[in-house]
Structure 1
């Protein structure tokens, strides 16, 4: 019984060979085993995880690493780290190590570097080894209970059970309201507030580190797809079907659906406003006044947006790469077809003077369609339509030209200035927020111009899955409304 339990345990979890494979091949494990691991981790923390930065240029990283090396050599001696900063950087970005991801970004002349998901896992583990002065336990237990309740009640299909749970929640809320009306206000104690604050900051950091792993998972899906395209030997139609199903796999995978849900949540103006308000109110809690980094939590949402935008950009780049690979495949297929046609033509020219005897070409499966003569329609001449091209000349040449001066022009630069004015106080804004600040004065023409600006701009997104209703007032006082797709303008970085 004991041996069967151990066997089942090993089958369910990782066995010896899986762990040994990780030890030999995993980038994070190789980083821990490296001789210069303390130097690399110190540099990674100073350049990336400490200031929450991503996608740094080579020259910036060389300068940061030079500062780190200068400080260490001043303490440990010049011979301690003999190589230059650029040599260390190139070594850590080698595919054999893969501690850094080196790539070229748009509008950047120099290579760009970012941490890999494995490296960030090692950094978080090393930071955890130093220990913590305060370990949140009560808030974690509350989080477990809340997650469990959401899981169980959100998966309940019995209407009576759902109604009973909602009734219980309403009774609890009514009871709390009665206690507050009677003057009994239960305020969270200082240990509880500190406990929840540490839990909040920990989960916020974990969320930032998760984005690199999400991006890496998307790249793995795309790499499998590109390998399939490169090695494809079937028909063109089967390849297209495989391409479209694989693109659905990237966006419809469990990773893709959860990330899209987070993106939709973060892009909701109402939820973003509520989150910002809650973070601001949290900084004024008296029990947290002495906590380090209290006011930095207000920038939590601003730290998420660049990371989420980069992951979204990665998904867009993957889709563009898929289209380019497909175009290359079509080009090679057409080239092969033309080579076959040229081969057939050259063979036909070679036997033109001396035709071969017997059957020259056999095309099975083809027949001649037979149509009865009387099944064809008779010829019917086309009818000529008479056109009266006589022009009446008005005797009275006094024409009112006021209509020519009533035309108006929508100035796109003015609308761009409106968008920039709204984005000066916010990271992003919807078209409804822009029109609330600057109402539509030229009606539908001005609304169409906003759509033209959003289509031409790389800092704007048109969400076809959501709509918004915009309204304006005509000169005669009547109200007009238009329901259009949601446009989100983002402040350029």
Structure 2
């Protein structure tokens, strides 16, 4: 190693010493922290845990440690807050969730994999088998690399013919009943190697997700700092081009995503994992290892889907951002700050720092007052008691109903599913039939959703019908509306 590379390695390790992963391994309470994090986020478990579930499970883990003589210094909530501050836990609010969710950071995941690798093997034989399985993996990769990088046609043909001869020999041996299988200990260790590499792949997913966040913030920064009138990046965003997908991280993830979405490959992958988990050698694996092997495809797909959704949210967020008023305001602020900086730079050497220029700058400030001086607003003081009047249901026009639907955020996907299900069973229906068969979970919004579909796809009848439903406040309501009948032939059109 040269002197320059030695110094560079030292500087890299010095910076890594301040990273969250190294701090976790060097913490005085690292055994307690790693034990709890491994219990909260097992390899076969969910990658995200709700705040309530995490605190409850962490309480149980801390209680188990107290019973063993370990005395934690904080409650579960305190530990969780510290781990977030130290960069070992990520706290997010997923779209559609009712509360915060926690997940391991990339640094913590890497540190935990190091800790798991330090744990002693059951026997020396297991260690030698692990070395053998890794050596076999390295040899396989070397052969593939050699074949794929050799431009000599004769050498490649010779290699292919050799593979063909080996396959034909194995076919003949199998047909003759002379099948060669590895022993169960060696097979179990190969399975553990597969599980270990899959765990590392999940860590790669976390790193890609973090890279997407960095790229997203960098794109916003570049959008604001550009001083031109129209930027190519803005034009691409407005044209709907996925900028994040064109990055190195985006292309790498997209290649894996395409492979994961290949139906034939996924089917073979899933069937192979299921078959391996049920072979005789699997009895030598622990329950968690067998579960990890059998659910490997599902776990990879779940995390890949999460990364895919994160990228989609960032792209849609960028699209909305460049169209928003916030972008225009922030861009204007950046332009003014840049102009002021250039003007100040131009005065260097002409105006001294202590020279009077005849301009007073009033600094912004905030008045600080005691909380006791604030008077809280009491809604009951301004409330006006009014008598509730009965309203006679009237006939509403389809146009009024359409405008009301456009203003409401109705779960049309669930409504369409209900309509297709009911028509498939009964053959025809009106709005009132749907309301009798399914509850109006969004009150009037659900009623308007059914009306919209029956008006669009149904046939108008001469009479009207009385629609009845239970509102979101639990009160029974009713309204007269034109009757429209939808038939089974409209199922394909309702998507």
Alignment partner for residue 324 of structure 1, among 301, 320, 325? 320
Alignment partner for residue 236 of structure 1, among 230, 252, 269? 230
The answer for the alignment partner of 2:40 in structure 1 is 47
- Unmatched segments (≥5 aa) in structure 1: 337-410, 420-441, 454-493
Instruction: For residue 102 of structure 1, give the secondary structure of its aligned residue in structure 2.
Output: strand
The answer for the alignment partner of 1:27 in structure 2 is 20
Distance 1:118 1:335 in 2: 37
Instruction: For residue 113 of structure 1, give the secondary structure of its aligned residue in structure 2.
Output: strand
Distance 1:115 1:150 in 2: 34
Q: Quick check: 1:312 aligned with 2:308?
A: yes
Deviation digits for residues 7-55 of structure 1 (CA, Å, limit 9, x no counterpart): 25426xx43222222223x111222333433332222111113552222
Alignment partner for residue 258 of structure 2, among 256, 260, 264? 264
Task: Tell me if structure 2 keeps the 8 A contact 1:137–1:195.
Answer: no
1:62-81 correspondence runs (5 A)? 62-76=55-69, 80-81=71-72
The answer for the alignment partner of 2:82 in structure 1 is 91
Distance 1:304 1:220 in 2: 23
Q: Quick check: 1:128 aligned with 2:125?
A: no
Q: Quick check: 1:112 aligned with 2:101?
A: yes
Instruction: For residue 284 of structure 2, give the secondary structure of its aligned residue in structure 1.
Output: coil
Distance 1:333 1:126 in 2: 45
The answer for the alignment partner of 1:291 in structure 2 is 285
Distance 1:220 1:283 in 2: 39
RMSD of equivalent CA atoms? 3.5
With over 3 angstroms needed to count, the CA separation of the structure-2 counterparts of 1:121 and 1:241, relative to structure 1, is: same
With over 3 angstroms needed to count, the CA separation of the structure-2 counterparts of 1:244 and 1:137, relative to structure 1, is: farther
Q: How far did residue 122 of structure 1 move? A: 0.9
Q: Quick check: 1:6 aligned with 2:16?
A: no
Distance 2:194 2:39 in 1: 23
Q: How far did residue 105 of structure 1 move? A: 1.1
The answer for the alignment partner of 1:273 in structure 2 is 267
Q: How far did residue 417 of structure 1 move? A: 9.4
Q: How far did residue 81 of structure 1 move? A: 3.4
Task: Tell me if structure 2 keeps the 8 A contact 1:45–1:123.
Answer: yes
The answer for the alignment partner of 1:171 in structure 2 is 165
The answer for the alignment partner of 1:154 in structure 2 is 148
Alignment partner for residue 198 of structure 1, among 180, 186, 192? 192
Q: Quick check: 1:302 aligned with 2:298?
A: yes
Distance 2:17 2:264 in 1: 47
The answer for the alignment partner of 1:103 in structure 2 is 92
Distance 1:443 1:272 in 2: 36
Instruction: For residue 101 of structure 1, give the secondary structure of its aligned residue in structure 2.
Output: strand
Task: Tell me if structure 2 keeps the 8 A contact 1:215–1:314.
Answer: yes
Distance 1:155 1:418 in 2: 59
Distance 1:418 1:87 in 2: 54
TM-score (normalised: structure 2) = 0.61
Deviation digits for residues 188-225 of structure 1 (CA, Å, limit 9, x no counterpart): 23343233222222222222233212211222222222
TM-score (normalised: structure 1) = 0.61
Instruction: For residue 251 of structure 1, give the secondary structure of its aligned residue in structure 2.
Output: helix
Deviation digits for residues 356-408 of structure 1 (CA, Å, limit 9, x no counterpart): xxxxxxxxxxxxxxxxxxxxxxxxxxxxxxxxxxxxxxxxxxxxxxxxxxxxx
With over 3 angstroms needed to count, the CA separation of the structure-2 counterparts of 1:91 and 1:194, relative to structure 1, is: closer
Distance 1:267 1:165 in 2: 31
Alignment partner for residue 61 of structure 1, among 51, 54, 61? 54
Instruction: For residue 227 of structure 2, give the secondary structure of its aligned residue in structure 1.
Output: coil
Distance 1:116 1:280 in 2: 30
Distance 2:286 2:244 in 1: 40
Q: How far did residue 69 of structure 1 move? A: 2.6
Q: How far did residue 315 of structure 1 move? A: 0.8
The answer for the alignment partner of 1:391 in structure 2 is none
Distance 2:183 2:116 in 1: 29
Deviation digits for residues 321-366 of structure 1 (CA, Å, limit 9, x no counterpart): 2223312366439989xxxxxxxxxxxxxxxxxxxxxxxxxxxxxx
Q: How far did residue 140 of structure 1 move? A: 1.6
With over 3 angstroms needed to count, the CA separation of the structure-2 counterparts of 1:154 and 1:138, relative to structure 1, is: same
Distance 1:319 1:418 in 2: 38
The number of residues matched between the two structures is 344
The answer for the alignment partner of 1:282 in structure 2 is 276
Deviation digits for residues 46-71 of structure 1 (CA, Å, limit 9, x no counterpart): 11135522221211111122222333
Distance 2:103 2:146 in 1: 39
Distance 1:236 1:299 in 2: 49
With over 3 angstroms needed to count, the CA separation of the structure-2 counterparts of 1:444 and 1:153, relative to structure 1, is: farther
Distance 1:312 1:417 in 2: 34
